[in-house]
Amino acid sequence: MRYMFILFIMLTVSLKAEERLVWPPPPDTPKVQFIREIKKIEDFEEDKGFFSRFLDIVFGKKKKIMVKPFGSYIKGNKLYFTDTGSKAVFIFDFKRKSVKIIDHIGDYALSSPIDVVVDSKGRIYISDSVLGTVFITNEDGDFLGKIGSTTIIRPTGLAVDNKRNRLFITDTVGGKIYVVSLKDGKLIMKIGKLGTGKGEFNRPTFITLDRKGNLYVVDSMNARIQIFDKNGVFLRMFGERGTVIGTFANPRGIAVDSDGNIYVSDTLLSAVQVFDPKGRLLLVIGNYGTGKGQFAYPADISISKDNYIFVSDSYNMRIQVLRYLKGGAGQ
């Protein structure tokens, strides 16, 4: 009996160790840890009581489901993400354990919502690549305005600089980044043009800002990352096309953690690669698959102020949540 008890303890410890998924794996010091996955709304929100479920059935209330999560933005206790399959924007409130869904902006039905950001006043900006517009709304889906419907060909990636009241909009087909004022929506400047040189783009997609206001652009068809200062001046770039570690096959999403490390998702490699601020490879997270920490055509990435990492694992129909272990500290 004593030996059986010891064996039980050993198996329990072994199972607990297996549950902790980290990169790089032991014996190296872990830098990133898998936290959880969100596959459906029921995984997140509090269970409704019988009466609420009964009313939903009686009044025919239909709930959107997660089909193809794409762009994302984290602000405080809330995760905002677009879903190109459901043609909607989901808002997950981690504090209240509630979910809101926006599929209409006023009288406009979303057609292909790509990215979403939120300004300091709570206004939500949603890019729709098919409608060629960036909509401005709130959590109730009210129409508050739109940007770019006459100038931007295909709006995709978004970034917001609340300190300087600026919204950055990627025009994937036009090959440039538009910078507009959050106050009046007027154009401040354009960054880039079609091409392969420094400061030129070929099908740019997602973008992000670091804490200094520097702009990071995923220059997808040029298979590289370009970085600009807060005034739109080119700083540096890194990356080359390939199918091996450290190269890009089809880079898509991008985010920067509190130490300035750069996370880039790649839809064809089905992985997230992590680079230091100078563009040197530090770590590769995941590979193709359906398990925890595996990806199938991952899209955007968002990182919270406390280094939680949200990856839109599009073809696995889920959001995967990781965490950067600052200083390599385990939990």
Q: How far apart are CA 92 and CA 73, in angstroms?
A: 11
pTM: 0.90
> What per-residue confidence (pLDDT) applies to 17?
44
Q: Are strands 176-181 and 187-191 parallel, antiparallel or unpaired?
A: antiparallel
SS3 content of the chain, % helix, strand, coil (to 5): 10, 45, 45
User: What strands, in cross-sheet order, belong to the sheet with 271-275?
Assistant: 251-256, 262-266, 271-275, 281-285
* Residue 259: how many other CB atoms lie within 10 Å: 11
| DSSP result, 125-155 | EEEETTTTEEEEE-TT----EEE-TTT-SSE
Q: Any idea how long the chain is?
A: 331
> What per-residue confidence (pLDDT) applies to 46?
59
CB 329 within 8 Å of CB 31: no
3-state secondary structure of 327: helix
Dihedrals φ, ψ of 19, to 5°? -70, -25
Query: Containing H/E element for 15?
Result: helix 2-19
Q: How far apart are CA 179 and CA 159, in angstroms?
A: 9
| DSSP result, 175-204 | TEEEEEETTT--EEEEE-EESSSTTEESSE
| DSSP result, 277-309 | TTS-EEEEE--BSSSTT-BSSEEEEEE-TT-EE
3-state secondary structure of 326: helix
**Mean pLDDT, consecutive 10-residue segments, the chain of 331 residues?**
40 49 95 95 62 46 83 97 98 94 97 98 97 97 92 96 97 97 95 97 98 97 97 97 96 98 97 97 97 98 97 98 81 44
Nearest to 135 by CA among 177, 95, 185: 185
- The CA-atom distances, in angstroms, between 68 and each of 22, 87, 282, 297 are 25, 9, 29, 10
Q: How far apart are CA 33 and CA 330, in angstroms?
A: 8
